Chain A
Amino acid sequence: MKTNKLEEIKYFLKYYDGPDMNIMEVCGSHTRAIAENGIPGMLSERIHLLSGPGCPVCVAPSSYIDRLIELALEPKTVVAAFGDLIRVPGSERSLSEAKGEGAKVEMLYSPLDMLELATQNPDRLYVFAAVGFETTAPVFAELLHRAEEEGVENIRLLTAIKTMPPVIQYLMEADAPIDGFLAPGHVSVITGSDAFLPLAKRYDIPFVVSGFSGERLLLALYDLVSCRGRGVVRNDYPSVVSAEGNLAAKAEVNRYFETATAVWRGMGAIPNSGLILKEKYKKYDAGSETLTEDKRKNKACICHEILAGKKKPFECALFGKICTPLQPQGACMVSQEGSCFSYYSHQRER
């Protein structure tokens, strides 16, 4: 039964001849999975996939990277970061390039690993590059909880934590031509699928929460096209996503963080789209709030338009020529979940 239905879905998506349907994914893992599963080639020419601002590393402004480099070059300060962030260019260079000048940078799988480092090296200050969406915010809260409990004083966060619904609203208010959103699967684990309901209603567009396998993506795209023009939220990932999300994780995040205006690379300041430390916990902040400047390393880079769904990577003059994963000119080509990296690696042409 599943095989037959899947074949029907594939046929529907391939030969769909209704009104054009622009679908945006706002999750870097979806961007990657769409390319890896060859989904674009399975769709009718009337179904258009757009990659939105779903890669948190890609949307961190250049001043954020510059500040991390400054910190890593300070005596007795170590910057710890997720691997994706190390090669993201700031206004002039990346953390990786700064390492050659003596910057102290540790690549960690989990922020919690920094506690052990900080405990073992009490004469050093450890700063975690706290980049992420709602998915990752709980682990930063857990880090602070444990640091408080264990009395670890030599840790800080440089925050660039973003939240998804406000940036979706920003895109819709900017008249982005979007008819439906593939809602981010792992963000939704924490937020719950209902987080997208006000947006669905306000703009009369469907949101479908999806997992990451090819079958799941096809099902979600089928649901999105089927719901064109309707303000609905569907949850196609119910094994881990509920309507209300992970309440305990959300409560812990709310204990340490509050919403604030955040700067997105290439898109500017978006109200209520970020999380910063509450006043009570500012002692853990490494100077996050002043980081609003955003300079492009290469003026011809159009990462900002790509992140907003206005252009596709292959429409950039730099793409595949002087901008490659080995020599990225913009953040979208750095992260494995960046749109340009994904299009380049999988030779996507649509």
Chain B
Amino acid sequence: MCVAYPGIVEKIEGRSALVNFSGNIVRAASGFVAPQVGDRVLVHAGYIMQKVSKSEAEELQELFDELEQTVADKDRMKTNGSDDSGRRSDESEQERTTANEDE
């Protein structure tokens, strides 16, 4: 039920926007995000929940790249016992971690 779909904003009309979903135009409430024409947005039950900051492909690539870096740094840390590698590993991990316990 929490299904939401991404679409492109075509027009703003007061507190609503016309959003294009692969050719289907749907009116959605836009008051919570103030989108601009051309923005990619996520729509649920007739309202825009959020702007989408990047495409699925771009985001996945970044997530995998970060993971690659984290794993590489951890491997290097294991091999070298290097303090520097350990710090870099933590930083890399922190990018995808919004919050964690005090470690």
Q: B13 contacts the other chain (Cβ, under 8 Å)?
A: no
Most chain A beta-carbon neighbours within 10 Å: one of B53, B65, B67: B67
A209-254: which have CB < 8 Å to B? Answer: 209, 211, 213, 215-216, 219, 222-223, 230-241, 243, 246, 248-249, 252
CA distance A133 to B65 in the complex (A): 33
B29 to A142, Cβ gap below 8 A? yes
**Binary per-residue interface labels of chain A (1-24) against chain B in the complex, 1 for a CB within 8 Å, 0 otherwise:** 110011001000000000000000
Q: Which residue of A is nearest B68, CB measured?
A: A5
Partner of B99, one of A135, A194, A230, A241: A194
Take A2-B60, A200-B101 as given contacts and tell me if A240 and B49 are in contact as well, using a CB distance cutoff of 8 Å: yes
B64 to A6, Cβ gap below 8 A? yes
| Interface window among A182-190, A261-269, A273-281 | A182-190
**Shortest Cβ gap from A60 to chain B (Å):** 11
Q: B37 contacts the other chain (Cβ, under 8 Å)?
A: no
Interface of A, helix, strand, loop or mixed by DSSP: mixed
Q: A86 contacts the other chain (Cβ, under 8 Å)?
A: no
Contact partners of B4 in chain A: CB under 8 A: 135, 186, 189
Q: Which residue of B is nearest A4, CB measured?
A: B68
B60 to A82, Cβ gap below 8 A? no
Q: A337 contacts the other chain (Cβ, under 8 Å)?
A: yes
B1 to A57, Cβ gap below 8 A? yes
B53 to A230, Cβ gap below 8 A? no
Partner of A138, one of B47, B65, B97: B47
**Binary per-residue interface labels of chain A (294-329) against chain B in the complex, 1 for a CB within 8 Å, 0 otherwise:** 000000000000000000000000000000000000
User: 7 additional contacts, CB 8 Å, given A139-B44, A201-B101?
Assistant: A2-B64, A29-B3, A82-B1, A138-B32, A209-B98, A238-B53, A240-B49
Q: B75 contacts the other chain (Cβ, under 8 Å)?
A: no
How many residues on B have C-beta within 8 angstroms of the other chain's C-beta atoms?
A: 37
Q: Which residue of A is nearest B40, CB measured?
A: A239
Q: Which residue of B is nearest A187, CB measured?
A: B2
Most chain B beta-carbon neighbours within 10 Å: one of A187, A235, A241: A235
| Interface window among A70-78, A96-104, A108-116 | A108-116
Take A27-B2, A110-B45, A200-B101 as given contacts and tell me if A234 and B96 are in contact as well, using a CB distance cutoff of 8 Å: yes
CA distance A48 to B98 in the complex (A): 25
Q: A89 contacts the other chain (Cβ, under 8 Å)?
A: no
Contact partners of A201 in chain B: CB under 8 A: 101
**Shortest Cβ gap from B70 to chain A (Å):** 9
Contact partners of B81 in chain A: CB under 8 A: none
Contact partners of A112 in chain B: CB under 8 A: 29, 46-47
